[in-house]
């Protein structure tokens, strides 16, 4: 009997709030400690280990310290990139940690003509053959999967594990349906285990008439308030320990919860309410809330204001009250509270990220190439960077690049240069300059 752990979407460093950041790390620490206790043979991490490709160094240090515990117990770690911690243009912290020998990246490949031949890495303890594909930018995943040398992958003998970081169309929950996904038919056949990342939801699926499993463990804690809301509504967070019985050739997935704190979540629906009425509603709810010690408290206010602006509501005083009730962290989500005084909201979403993506999608849809434009090179550049899905990708990446914060001890000049470099890289400005020259 062999067993390995499957962890994904840790998003270490995701939270600005230091308490949430710490909880996220604690969840990872808990997962690794359980792996050590359970004496797993290896750990597979399927992407988005860090929230960004170059996270704050103190978080990197803490993460490395935790991973070293596993390594000291002889537990090998296999890790692929996710969409958050991967970058094509600069070195990611994953590359540095990999170079330091902290873990193995089972994503080596050979490019033979127009095919990608993935190489297998054989785990020394279990003899399982591991390979995988990292997360890619939106819309590019299918392209990579289409290029795979499937015959080579499927004809490889022995027990095989495929690690990937992409949603699968047929398995994606309805509330996560918007966005790119790959069809199940693009996964190579004949693997005993398909370890997935990217979807922040726990999914177990018996594949190939029950001969194998596709599993998404979901995040250990979560990286957005939507994740936390889902957790509060019953979504369990944790990771999997997968047992494989060689004799019977049976695979069993055991979910291990990594709950660190309780989360309380309430929704307040308003309909054409005044600022005062809404404040009264929130106040009344906050007053009634009890036993909040060391809990995360989330309140979502949604609906329409009769008059005034969202900023007229003094949300911070409620957060202070919750803090006085010893809540560990409190947050009042007002993204879905619509004010008549502001420009009509054309898109709706449950998180800032979702709304940003929708707005970008809508705006990009209206960008067309001027038919009078004759320069083919410029036209091609616009097509490849600024319109349709490519435009959405550029805009989303640019937004992400410009959201980065100044690193401790980084000079303003260096910070500016770093942002500029990332932005230019996202925009491909050096490419167009070369092309046009």
Binding residues vs other proteins (CB under 8 A): 86, 88, 105, 107-109, 111, 114, 116, 139, 142-144, 146-147, 150, 169-174, 176-178, 181, 183-186, 189, 205, 344, 346, 362, 365-366, 388-389
Q: At what angle do helices 412-427 and 388-402 cross, to 10 degrees?
A: 170
The pairing of beta strand 296-305 with beta strand 129-133: unpaired
Q: Which of 406, 403, 428 is nearest to 51 (CA)?
A: 403
Q: Which of the residues are catalytic?
A: 84
Provide, rounded to whole angstroms, the least separation between the CB of residue 178 and other proteins: 6
| Residue that is written with structure tokens 């008439």 in the block | 209
Nearer to other proteins, 274 or 351 (CB): 351
Provide, rounded to whole angstroms, the least separation between the CB of residue 191 and other proteins: 14
Nearer to other proteins, 262 or 356 (CB): 356
Nearer to other proteins, 116 or 400 (CB): 116
Nearer to other proteins, 178 or 276 (CB): 178
Provide, rounded to whole angstroms, the least separation between the CB of residue 256 and other proteins: 22
Per the CB < 8 A criterion, the answer to whether 384 and 394 are in contact is no
Q: Which of 219, 220, 283 is nearest to 26 (CA)?
A: 220
Provide, rounded to whole angstroms, the least separation between the CB of residue 45 and other proteins: 16
The pairing of beta strand 160-165 with beta strand 129-133: parallel
Give dist(CA 375, CA 388) in Å, integer.
Answer: 19
| Residue that is written with structure tokens 């809301």 in the block | 229
Nearer to other proteins, 76 or 392 (CB): 392
Can you say whether the dihedral through the CA atoms of 306, 315, 300, 402 is positive or negative? positive
Give dist(CA 263, CA 231) in Å, integer.
Answer: 7
Provide, rounded to whole angstroms, the least separation between the CB of residue 397 and other proteins: 15
For the residues of 47-104, what is the DSSP string, one character each?
S-SBSSSS--HHHHHHHHHHHHHHHHTT-EEEEE--SSS--SSS--HHHHHHHTTSSB
């Amino acid at each position: 009997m062999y067993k390995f752990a499957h962890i994904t979407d840790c998003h270490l460093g995701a939270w600005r709030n230091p308490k949430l950041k710490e909880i996220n790390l604690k969840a990872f620490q808990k997962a690794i400690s359980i792996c050590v206790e359970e004496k797993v043979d290896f750990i597979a991490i399927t992407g988005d280990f860090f929230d960004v490709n170059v996270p704050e160094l103190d978080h990197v240090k803490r993460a490395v310290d935790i991973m070293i515990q596993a390594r000291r117990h002889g537990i090998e770690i296999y890790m692929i990139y996710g969409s958050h911690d991967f970058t094509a243009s600069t070195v990611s912290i994953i590359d540095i940690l990999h170079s330091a020998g902290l873990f193995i990246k089972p994503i080596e490949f050979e490019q033979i003509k127009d095919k990608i031949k993935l190489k297998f890495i054989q785990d020394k303890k279990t003899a399982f053959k591991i390979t995988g594909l990292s997360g890619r930018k939106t819309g590019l995943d299918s392209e990579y999967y289409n290029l795979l040398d499937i015959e080579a992958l499927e004809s490889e003998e022995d027990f095989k594990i495929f690690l990937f970081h992409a949603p699968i169309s047929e398995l994606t929950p309805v509330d996560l349906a918007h966005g790119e996904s790959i069809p199940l038919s693009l996964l190579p056949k004949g693997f005993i285990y398909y370890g997935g990342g990217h979807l922040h939801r726990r999914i177990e699926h018996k594949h190939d008439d029950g001969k194998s499993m596709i599993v998404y463990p979901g995040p250990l804690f979560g990286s957005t308030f939507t994740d936390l809301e889902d957790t509060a509504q019953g979504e369990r967070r944790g990771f999997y320990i997968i047992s494989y019985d060689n004799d019977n050739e049976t695979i069993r997935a055991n979910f291990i919860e990594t709950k660190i704190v309780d989360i309380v979540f309430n929704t307040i629906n308003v309909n054409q309410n005044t600022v005062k009425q809404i404040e009264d509603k929130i106040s009344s709810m906050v007053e009634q809330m009890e036993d909040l010690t060391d809990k995360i408290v989330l309140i979502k206010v949604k609906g329409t204001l009769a008059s005034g602006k969202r900023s007229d509501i003094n949300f911070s005083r409620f957060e202070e009250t919750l803090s006085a009730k010893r809540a560990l962290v409190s947050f009042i989500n007002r993204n879905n509270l619509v004010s008549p005084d502001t420009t009509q909201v054309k898109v709706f979403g449950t998180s800032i990220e979702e709304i940003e993506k929708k707005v970008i999608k809508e705006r990009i849809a209206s960008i067309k190439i001027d038919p009078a434009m004759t320069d083919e090179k410029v036209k091609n550049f616009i097509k490849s960077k600024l319109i349709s899905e490519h435009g959405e990708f550029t805009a989303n990446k640019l937004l992400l690049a410009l959201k980065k914060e100044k690193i401790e001890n980084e000079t303003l000049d260096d910070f500016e240069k770093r942002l500029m470099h990332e932005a230019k890289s996202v925009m491909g400005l050096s490419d167009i300059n070369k092309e046009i020259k």
